[in-house]
Structure formats: C-alpha cells, structure tokens
C-alpha cells in the first residue's frame, strides 16, 4: 500500500510540475493601454520581467503598458511556468492643433493647422464626436487640415499605420460662426460734390470708406459724399463680430448732369457664382446672361489688381500672380454692382 501511495504522489507531482497551458493574450500592445492575460491552468501567479515597461496583476493578469519596449510576462504554477514576450509600442508623437477662431457665415472658413506630423502616421479631424474631411498622412512637417466653416469644437486623432497605436493630439480649437451681414442697398454712382444714402437692414453697424479722398461716408447714417472722381469701396461692419458687407461707389467728375442711378447690390445671388472658394491658381465665374458685363478683383484697401470684361460663362480667371489674402470681387452690370468675397490661398 505504501508503494502505491508513493507512486501516485510521484505521478501527481509530475503532472503538477509539467502540465501548464500557454499564456493567452496579445503579443503587441500600446503604451498606456491595458490588457488581461489568461491561462487555463489554475492556481498560478503572474509576474513581469520589467515593471518599467509593463506591470501585471499577480492574481488578475491585468497588464498595464507603461513605456515602449519589450517585456516578458510569466504565469507560474508550482515549479513550472509559461511565458509570453510582449512588445509595447509608443503612441504617435503629440502635436498641437491651432487656436480657436471666429468667422462670419458665408465666408470661406478658417484653416485648422496641426503644428507638426510624423511619417507613417495618419491624422483624422473630428468636429464634435464625428469625423470630418479625409484622412491625411503625415509628412514630417505641419499639416493643413483644410478650411472649416461649421461651428463647434475640433480635435485630431493620430494613428500609427504600422502598429495601430493612436491618440488624440493636444489643442481643441472652437470655431464660432457669427451671422453674416446683409447686402448694402442704395445708389452706386454720384456726382462730385453731391451725396447719396446707402442702407442696410441689419441695424447697429458702422459705415466706413476704403478711399475717403474719393468718397467719404458718415459712420452712422450711411450718407456718402462725392469728394473726387474715382471709385471707393464702402463698408458696413460690426466691430463685435468682424463681419461686414461691401459695395462699390463711383464718383463722376464735374460736369456730370447725366449720372445714372444704379443699385449697389442685386438681391438675387443666383445671378453670379464663383468657385472654388478659396481659390489657388484660378477660379471660375458663372453668371446669368446679360446680368454682368465686367468684373474687377480689388484689395480690401481698394486697389484694383485685375479688371476684365465677362465674355463668356463660365469664365476661368487666372490669379496665380496674386498674393495670398482676402479680396473683393466686384461685378458690374446694367442694373448695378455685386460684391463677393474671394480668398486666395496656395
């Protein structure tokens, strides 16, 4: 009987010493992630070969990745053990999304710029909880995530295309969209030494002239005075939002008894359209037949850079030689003028 007991004990010890299952769990994880490792053998304990890379709960098998590197986790039952070598990959390098911005409804928007990027990493822009725009791949330099026109909070999620490790970049800019200013109405032409009155249905704005030496304007009333021959852009703006409307006023030199009365803006925006906005090397004008016969591209200060006849629709306009910035696109027609904003960006 004693011999039988000793033989059974030896067999039990051999089974206990050698029968242990392999470790189950991922062999690749990301920094700061947690994973639970298991083994079908019962009664064992977990340990980590390098707790500066990853720690693991002795009883739970819950691994927490601390830093990039490799680590061996061991599951020990009695005198035997099972191991798995785990690679801990870093998250993509953190960069910052640029600051918040305020824009006006109908404007081309504001560019969101990531301060840097890494090759082999993809970047996705989010507005609120939803993604917006295409995935953009890192170049090693700053990334332009495009013009944004929708109000809300924006974030960027970066993902290493090899390891799959991802994290949200720093910076959560908020875009605020203020109401657009309605068009300016009133005559667009007057004689030197006379006045005309412009109006806007949005109350509370301030009038200003781009060229007061040609046409001055009362800041409160919108009364324009013809000072000298030429053309001036008249602005109606709101300092609280930075939004504005613009119209072109022409002052005719004396004598000018036959000045025709034309309106500064036509209410039907379908008469003329431009695309794309913003534009880079060129843009296209489409207009209704006979609505406009000429256009000019003018700087905010009133300088005319391009002025041409509208000979066809659609009409492609080359602006590759213009510096980047905001311009006014003024259309001239038999019934008045129309002013649209045009942004040039490479």
Cα–Cα distance between 108 and 126 in angstroms, integer? 19
Helix (H, G, I), strand (E, B) or coil at 215: strand
What's phi and psi for 6, nearest 5 deg? -65, -40
What is the reported pLDDT for 341?
81
Contact (CB, 8 A) for 87 and 27: yes
Query: What b-and-e string marks burial along 156-172, b requiring 16 or more CB atoms within 10 Å of the CB?
Result: bbbbbeebebbbebebe
Please tell me the CATH code under which domain 101-178 is placed. 2.60.40
Please tell me the CATH code under which domain 269-344 is placed. 2.60.40.3080
Cα–Cα distance between 198 and 187 in angstroms, integer? 7
What is the reported pLDDT for 274?
84
Cα–Cα distance between 271 and 289 in angstroms, integer? 9
Strand-strand pairing, 215-217 and 223-226: antiparallel
Domain boundaries, the chain: 18-89, 101-178, 189-252, 269-344
Cis peptide before 314 (omega within 30 of 0): yes
Question: In tens digits, what is the pLDDT along the chain, a chain of 346 residues?
Answer: 444 444 444 444 444 445 689 999 999 999 999 999 999 999 999 999 999 999 999 999 999 999 999 999 999 999 999 999 999 999 999 999 998 888 888 787 888 999 999 999 999 999 988 999 899 999 999 999 988 989 999 999 999 999 999 999 999 999 999 988 888 888 888 999 999 999 988 889 999 998 899 999 999 999 999 999 988 889 999 988 889 888 888 898 888 765 555 555 544 555 788 878 778 889 888 888 888 889 999 887 778 899 999 988 889 999 989 988 888 888 888 767 788 888 887 6
What is the reported pLDDT for 17?
46
Please tell me the CATH code under which domain 18-89 is placed. 2.60.40.1080
CATH of 189-252, one of 3.40.1000.10, 2.40.30.130, 3.40.50.1100, 2.60.40.1080: 2.60.40.1080
pTM of model > 0.75: no
Cα–Cα distance between 135 and 124 in angstroms, integer? 5
């Amino acid at each position: 009987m004693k011999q039988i007991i000793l033989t059974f004990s030896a067999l039990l010890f051999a089974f206990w010493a050698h029968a242990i299952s392999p470790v189950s769990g991922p062999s690749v994880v990301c920094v700061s992630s947690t994973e639970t490792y298991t083994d079908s053998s019962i009664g064992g304990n977990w340990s980590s070969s390098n707790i500066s890379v990853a720690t693991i709960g002795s009883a739970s098998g819950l691994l927490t990745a601390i830093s990039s590197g490799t680590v061996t986790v061991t599951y020990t039952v009695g005198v035997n053990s099972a191991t798995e070598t785990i690679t801990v990959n870093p998250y993509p390098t953190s960069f910052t999304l640029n600051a918040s911005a305020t824009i006006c409804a109908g404007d081309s928007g504001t560019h969101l710029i990531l301060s840097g990027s890494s090759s082999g990493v993809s970047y996705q822009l989010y507005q609120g909880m939803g993604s917006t725009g295409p995935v953009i791949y890192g170049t090693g330099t700053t990334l332009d995530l495009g013009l944004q026109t929708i109000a809300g909070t924006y974030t960027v999620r970066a993902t290493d295309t090899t390891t799959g490790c991802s994290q949200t970049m720093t910076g959560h800019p908020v875009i605020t969209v203020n109401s657009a200013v309605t068009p300016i109405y009133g005559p667009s032409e007057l004689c030197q030494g006379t006045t005309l009155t412009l109006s806007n249905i949005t109350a509370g704005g301030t009038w200003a002239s781009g060229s007061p030496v040609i046409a001055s304007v009362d800041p409160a009333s919108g009364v324009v005075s013809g000072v000298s021959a030429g053309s001036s852009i008249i602005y109606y703006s709101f300092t609280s939002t930075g939004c504005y409307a613009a119209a072109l006023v022409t002052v005719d030199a004396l004598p000018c008894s036959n000045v025709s009365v034309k309106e500064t803006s036509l209410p039907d925006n379908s008469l003329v359209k431009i695309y794309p906005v913003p534009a880079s090397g060129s843009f296209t004008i489409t207009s209704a037949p006979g609505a406009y016969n000429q256009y000019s591209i003018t700087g905010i200060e009133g300088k005319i850079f391009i002025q041409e006849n509208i000979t066809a629709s659609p009409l492609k306009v080359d602006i590759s030689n213009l510096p980047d910035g905001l311009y006014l696109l003024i259309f001239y027609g038999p019934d008045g003028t129309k002013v649209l904003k045009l942004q040039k960006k490479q």
